[in-house]
Structure 1
């Protein structure tokens, strides 16, 4: 008869220490750049979360307010949880061409996390494998398996405070986690587990007096250090918002059609951030140096095909057109742009919401054209006057 396995409650401190060291190595073998362990006490975050919600800063993201304070209570999300294993996966692709895309208003700017493969399923599968490797070790040591559950933006959980407690970095004034070696160009994931593993020590904040991220935000979405009003954030406006983009933010969006990286671009901690080791996060050819008019001409079938497996697909074709229409309205006057807008307006793939943004863009283009013609007339008049004086 096989010997019965021992309960997890009987694991001694030395074995837990050794397991913690090993699981961090296993995590790195699975492609995580860093692994840390946090306890589950987020009570200090609850009043902060409630105050943020009370201000309405979550906008249409109703899921942020659902489930009460479960977001700050991992043990309610996964009963029995004693620790959270937090992981970091770097995503900064090579050939980012930040300046090239932002300086050319005819090109589309897409947040650098979204140019390649969607990270959710990839990271969740690897976290699951980490849990399986932990269970294999426990079984070999003669213990019962653990009860663990992986999450990657897939449940109500405050991942950034947990990552901070796990020593992955500190919370920057833009509310993202910053790591001295990796900046903020990384994804986060969590494995909730019922093991009393030793926890890691948080790192001290190192932003000091720097407010570069706050000053750089195009729409002033960082309303106070560590506080973002999502309703003003370009990432929210282009990804989360379902309906029309408020007019007051359209010009400020420039050519950003999916997300925004401005607060990360100016952060000095990001100056030495490493490139990703995952080729799946490299920017796809169809999105690299893509001009706005070409992207605007994608029909729904082409959009679905070229964004398959990409986070961009979640916004759907209509919001894709909505975002690009705004960018086209911000682009320099061009008959090519006007033609593209007018043709798209007549297509069967647009609804009233998209048409509203197309009309706005056409008005901007016409205004720019009128201004250009007026300037040209003035120049011709001056030149004519000069020729008479000659």
Structure 2
């Protein structure tokens, strides 16, 4: 599908909150993972005008800026460089500070702090080392190592485990000059701009056009690849068993959804996860810990692209029994009577969450942004309340396929 719209500023009038949120998003049209991993830690650190932390802090105080943040986000395989800023509304402050905050945003985005015409070499090196250290630290933990090995099993096309995580040597290609060139290319394209809050719509739109867009309305066009779903479902179960350096054994069982294709399937998968492990239904914990005292920890995890993982940490002598209890748990949650008893609880929780979302201005904004980008027009509560117990049972019985097992045998095997 193609996203193809003019980047006219979007003003969302909402007078129920005392704050406003400015959100600026630059689509990233092509990228290398290793560059984005580091760029996200380098951007908006300082600017040409605000070249010290003190100057930056004073500017925020003078502008009544409540907070600002930047990130590189992903929807499926589409990447976006984002800048968001929160400030008080005119009604609450008795003063309009939109223009000051737009000028601050423009300064931070278009005039980054440079040394010798590029990003700070010191900051880039520090960011690279921090990322390397975070990877090493994760793999030093038994749960982090287990997640990594299990994700490798269920991954497709490096969606769950990035190439950079698997090969840190790719970071040797990242330099200050290269990063700055990547950044310049990103911000040279037209951004999408949104403002939500109790604002003067006409005046706000004109200010954003003038300050952020240089009075140029441009076409924003890119191929969307938002919904990445599993496709590789083998007829046999792949088993990876290895001796680990940890004292704790890891026991993982993975399922993929056959013909995963839409948001409704994601909701169904979440229901299955909640039947196994949630406040309203903790079958997995009851079987493995309460009834049999076999595990230190156990949980069920899902990825939106169509996988369910049952993961436990235990002693090596319990491994076979845990797989037996996994099977028992899956059979138990497929019982129509049990589903009928739990689904209303999940639906009620979704209703409450939906009401709470209405009290968060950021949630209202990003729901709007998702719809604007063509990512989703559906809300979780609207979908789950239309799902019947029989549909859940059919999903478990006929669409969930066991695809792999990972066993990391701890040192107690000695």
TM superposition score normalised by structure 1: 0.26
Q: Which has the higher strand share?
A: 2
TM superposition score normalised by structure 2: 0.25
Higher relative contact order, chain-length normalized (CA < 8 Å, sep 6+):
2
